[in-house]
Amino acid sequence: MSANSTLVAIIIASELRWCASVNARAQGTRWLGLFGFISKLGDGYIWYALIAAFALIGGQKGTNAALHMALIGLLSLVVYKSIKRISRRDRPLKKNHTINLSIAPLDEFSFPSGHTLHAVAFSLVACEYFPWLGFILIPITILIALSRVVLGLHFPSDVLAAIGLGFALYLGVGLKIPTPLLV
- Cβ atoms of 155 and 92 within 8 Å: the answer is yes
pLDDT of residue 1: 58
Is the peptide bond prior to 112 cis by the omega test (within 30 degrees of 0)?
yes
Q: Which residue has the higher pLDDT, 107 or 164?
A: 164
The C-alpha atoms of residue 71 and residue 66 are separated, in whole angstroms, by 9
Provide mean pLDDT across the span 77-84.
92
Nearest partner of 89 among 113, 106, 73, judged by Cα: 113
Mean pLDDT of the chain: 86
* φ and ψ of 153, to 5 deg: -90, -25
Please name which of 22, 53, 21, 26 lies closest in space to residue 37, comparing C-alpha atoms: 26
Read off φ and ψ for residue 141, nearest 5 degrees: -65, -45
* Residues 113-154: tens digit of each pLDDT: 999 999 999 999 999 999 999 999 999 999 999 999 888 889
The 10s digit of each residue's pLDDT in 56-74 is 998 999 999 999 999 999 9
Cα–Cα distance between 81 and 173 in angstroms, integer?
Answer: 18
The answer to which of 4-8, 52-56, 67-71 has the lowest mean pLDDT is 4-8
Domain ranges of the chain: 3-182
> Domain 3-182 is of which CATH architecture?
Up-down Bundle (1.20)
Helix (H, G, I), strand (E, B) or coil at 11: helix
pLDDT class of 177 with cuts at 50, 70, 90? very low
Does the structure show a pLDDT above 80 at 159? yes
Choose between 146 and 25: higher pLDDT.
146
